[in-house]
Structure 1
Amino acid sequence: MVGPYRDLFSAPGTRGFVIAGFVGRMPMSMLGIGIVLLISALTGSYATAGAISATVAIAYAVAAPLSGRLVDRFGQARVLMPLVLLHGAALIVLMLCTALGAPMWALFVSAVVVGGAATSLGSMVRARWSHILGRSAKLHTAFSFESVADEVIFVAGPALVTGLTTLVNLYAGLILALVSTVVGTVAFSLQRGTEPPVRPAHAQSGSPITIPGVALLSCVFLAMGAVFGSVDLITVAFAEDHGAKAASGLLLGSFAGGSMVSGLWYGSRHWRISLRRRFTRGIAVFAVGLTPILLIGDIKVMAIALFFAGLAISPTIITGYALIERLVPGHLLTEGMSWVSTAVGFGVAIGAWAAGRLTDAFGASNAYAFSFVCALLAVAIGLGGSPLLRTPEAGHAEATSPAT
């Protein structure tokens, strides 16, 4: 499986931006759970913790396409540098407000700035790969590699932030997230040799979200984001209910671990089946994989179930980004990819808020039903609107490819 990935790094500068991008987006798996652990420990309410985490996610979701459009217009470095410094400052303010017992509104205001100034660094990395590789066969492998990198982050991040928060200090996990995002993003921005050139926008070019296929993908990822946001919070509560709150990071790492393994396998294969069919089958398998978690009451068994539930995540996300790359004009590519982040961000916000309420009201095990319903919604949207996902290259492929 590793063979196809070796050739990706033959181009000059690729290793540098990949490493910096990896470090810079480490907090995407740490920020939400770090906030939930901190706020729930201080207030005793998962609803409050979920609401603040949801505020960060909503602000990020609203701002991501705007920052993506600015990047397309002015370049990555000129936009990323001021935003990451503002994000870091706002996160410091959020932690200080929490430590000093500031009014609740101050926490929500700082959470808005934290999310609004966060950048979709994963989209920037993928835009660099697209610039370097064009539409060669290697682009599928590059997107797969980045999805695997995301899952490595989601394996290590929750366990790391949970361990630091529960065993070292309540603020230690968020401090690590702060350092990672600032250092990684600054290092990424300074690497100008691989930065995509600014392409002149067409006079009548609108937002990528007006493209039907992009809108459909955004709706699917909104529902999937709700699964991610709810599973994150419910799993913390599930572990606490079983007297092992520190194990919540390992449980979430198991969820991401399944996705990481499947992403490595998926990226190493050369697929003849169309992107559209791969995407719809991926979300269907995703929903099926979530079914067992509704019936489990043991932490060890839950870890195994979450691993298998995560197997469909990477292939679905990889294919979603590939579809965006085919559907969106080149001068709007960063903004187009940012809509995936926006959709997932809104979904995470909805999932975190709803899961907090449901967990407080009905208990963690019962709250997992919400995650499952959101997965079914993603399947319904994806299958119902799949004709909108046909790409220019898809017609011939769908007519000749075997149903495998």
Structure 2
Amino acid sequence: MVGPYRGLFEGPGIKAFVLAGFVGRMPMSMLSIGIILLITALTGSYATAGAVAATMTVAFAVAAPLSGRLVDRLGQNRVIPPFAIVNAIALAALMLSAGLRLPEWTLYASGLVAGVTSLSLGSLVRARWSVIHGGTHKLHTAFAFESVVDEVVFVTGPALVTVLATGLSPYAGLAAALTFMIVGSLALAAQRRTQPPVQETRSADGTPILIPGIALLSGVYLAMGAVFGSVDLITVAFADERGVKWAAGFLLASFAGGSMVSGLWFGSRHWRISLRSRFMRALCAFTLGLAPIVFIGNTWIMAGALFLAGFAISPTLITGFSLTERLVPPSLLTEGMAWISTSVGFGVALGAWAGGRLTEAVGASDAYLLSLGAALLAAAVGIGGSNFLRLPEAPSPAER
């Protein structure tokens, strides 16, 4: 399994940008649950917590393609620092608003600014890999590695923020996320040797979302994001209902842990079936894997079920980013990948909002039906529109 990853990091500056990207991505698994833990600790309302988290996530989802286009035109080193600084100020304002019991609208306002100024560091790192290993079999392995990094973030982040917020202070989780963001983002901006060159954007290139395949992928990841957002919030409530709220982060870490394991395996293989076929099979596995969680009431059995349910996450994301890299022109690469992130972001926001409402209405166990329904929708959209994912040229033997 390790063999294909050997040699991936050879080259000047590669290890540095990989490490910076890892640190800078930690907040993506910490912010939503950190906000939920903070606001529920102060108000007891999952609905308010979900709404504030959703506000931030929607703002990120709207702004991500725009910031991605800005990066394509100006370069990562010119865009990252100002965004990171404003983002840090917004997160600090959110914590102060909560701590000082300011009017509720201040939570939404600071969350909005935090979302708008959040950069999709995963897209920025994958764009660097696309330049370094583009056109070779190593790009599939690099994307698999990045998916594993994402899952390591989602394994460690929720557990860390939960321990900090419940054991130290309700504000400690968000403070840690802020620190990771500013350190990782500025470190990535400093790695100029490996950043993609600024390319002139032709007017004929338009926007990636007008490419049918990218539009289809965006629809699939919108539904998948709803799964992630709803599972995040409902799982916190699930643990709280059973008197083990501290275990919420570990349950979510189990979900990400399954994806991490499958990502390592998936990236180590040289596949003979097409990207399109891999994508559809991963969607089916994702839906089937989620079905059992609707019927489980025990916390530790749920941890095992979530681990198994996470197995298809990485393969779905890896193939989605690989398809995106093949479908968009180089001058729009960062923006194209940002559309994947923005679609997931919209879905997370919808899932968190709907999950909060449904949890308060029917309880956590029954609310998991929302997550299963969103997974079914993702599979239906992806399989039903799979003809849009046929690549213009046959992949090379290494890519297959």
Equivalent-residue separation in structure 2 for 1:349 and 1:15 (angstroms)? 33
Alignment of 1:221-260 (within 5 A): 221-260=221-260
Q: Which amino acid aligns with 1:60?
A: F
Q: Deviations over 1:9-57 (max 9, x none)?
A: 1111100000000000100000000000111111111011000000000
Alignment-derived partner of residue 280 in structure 1: 280
* Ranges in structure 1 where 5+ consecutive residues have no aligned partner: none
Greater Cα offset, 11-20 or 386-395: 386-395
Aligned residues of 1:148 and 1:259 also touching (Cα < 8 A):
yes
Cα distance in 1 for residues equivalent to 2:84 and 2:393: 38
Q: Structure 2: how far apart are the matches of 1:4 and 1:168?
A: 41
The aligned runs of 1:166-181 (5 Å cut-off) are: 166-181=166-181
Please give the residue correspondences for 1:158-237 in structure 2 after superposition, counting only pairs within 5 Å: 158-237=158-237
In the TM superposition, 1:68-217 aligns within 5 A as: 68-217=68-217
Separation in structure 2 between the aligned mates of residue 180 and residue 160 of structure 1, nearest angstrom: 12
Deviation at 1:396, TM superposition (A): 9.0
Cα deviations across residues 129-155 of structure 1 (Å, max 9, x unaligned)? 001111100000000000000000000
Q: Distance in 1 between matches of 2:366 and 2:42?
A: 24
How far the C-alpha of 1:205 sits from its partner, in A, is 1.9
Aligned to 2:374: 374
User: How far 1:3 sits from its partner (Å)?
Assistant: 1.7
**Against the structure 1 CA distance between its residues 238 and 272, is the aligned structure 2 distance closer, same or farther, given a 3 Å change threshold?**
same
CA distance in 1, matches of 2:153, 2:358: 27
Determine the C-alpha separation between the residues in 2 that align with 1:188 and 1:232: 28
Which residue type is aligned with residue 362 of structure 2? F
The gaps in structure 2 that reach 5 residues or longer are none
Any idea what SS the aligned residue of 1:169 has?
coil
Checking the alignment, whether the CA contact within 8 Å between 1:61 and 1:341 is kept in structure 2 is yes
Alignment partner of 1:10: what SS? coil
Which residue type is aligned with residue 102 of structure 2?
A
Structure 1 residues 59-81: Cα deviation after superposition (integer angstroms, max 9, x where no partner)? 00000000000000000111111
- Give per-residue Cα distances to partners, 1:305-358, cap 9 Å, x unaligned: 000000000000000000000000000000000000000000000000000000
Instruction: For residue 394 of structure 1, report the CA deviation from its aligned partner.
Output: 3.7
CA distance in 2, matches of 1:205, 1:153: 34
Amino acid aligned to 2:97: C
The answer (yes or no) to whether the contact 1:160–1:249 under 8 Å persists in 2 is yes
3-state DSSP of counterpart to 1:306? helix
Contact 2:84-2:182 within 8 A present in 1 as well: yes
Matched position secondary structure for 2:203: coil
In structure 2, do the counterparts of structure 1 residues 130 and 396 end up closer, same or farther at CA, with 3 Å as the change threshold? closer
Q: Which deviates the most, 200-209 or 98-107?
A: 200-209
Within 1, Cα distance between the matches of 2:396 and 2:132?
A: 26
Whether the 8 Å contact between 2:255 and 2:307 is mirrored in structure 1 is yes
- Contact persistence 1:69–1:335 (CA under 8 A): yes
Equivalent AA in structure 1 for residue 288 of structure 2: V
Could you tell me which amino acid in structure 2 is paired with residue 249 of structure 1? G
1:310 maps to 310
TM-score, normalised to structure 1, is: 0.97
Q: Distance in 1 between matches of 2:2 and 2:227?
A: 30
Q: What is the distance in 1 between the residues matched to 2:218 and 2:386?
A: 13
Name the residue aligned to 2:49.
Answer: 49
Please report how far the alpha carbon of residue 225 of structure 1 lies from its aligned counterpart in structure 2 after TM superposition: 0.1
Root mean square deviation of aligned Cα = 1.0
User: Match of 1:198, SS?
Assistant: coil
Moved beyond 6 Å, runs of 4+: none
- Letter aligned with residue 22 of structure 2: F
Amino acid at match of 1:194: T
Three-state SS of the structure 2 residue aligned to 1:194 is coil
CA–CA distance in 1 between the matches of 2:110 and 2:151? 28
Superposition map of 1:289-300 within 5 A: 289-300=289-300
Native 8 Å contact 2:205 2:329 kept in 1 = no
Q: Letter of the 2:134 partner, please give it.
A: G
Q: Once the two structures are superposed, what CA deviation does each residue of 1:199-234 show, in whole Å capped at 9, x if it has no partner?
A: 111132210000000000000000000000000000
Question: CA contact under 8 A between 2:234 and 2:364: conserved in structure 1?
Answer: yes
**CA deviation profile, 1:93-133 (whole Å, cap 9, x unmatched):** 00000000010111101110000000000000000000111
CA distance in 1, matches of 2:71, 2:344: 20
Q: Percent identity?
A: 64
- Answer yes or no: is 1:24 the counterpart of 2:21: no
Paired AA for residue 313 in structure 2: I
Contact 1:275 1:394 (C-alpha < 8 Å) held by counterparts: no
The CA deviation string for residues 223-278 of structure 1, in whole angstroms up to 9 with x for no partner, is 00000000000000000001100000000000000000000000000011000000
DSSP 3-state at the match of 2:243: coil
Determine whether 1:347 maps to 2:347.
yes
CA distance in 2, matches of 1:2, 1:62: 38
Distance in structure 1 (CA, Å) of the matches to 2:86 and 2:5: 35
Deviation at 1:395, TM superposition (A): 7.8
Match of 1:62 in 2: 62
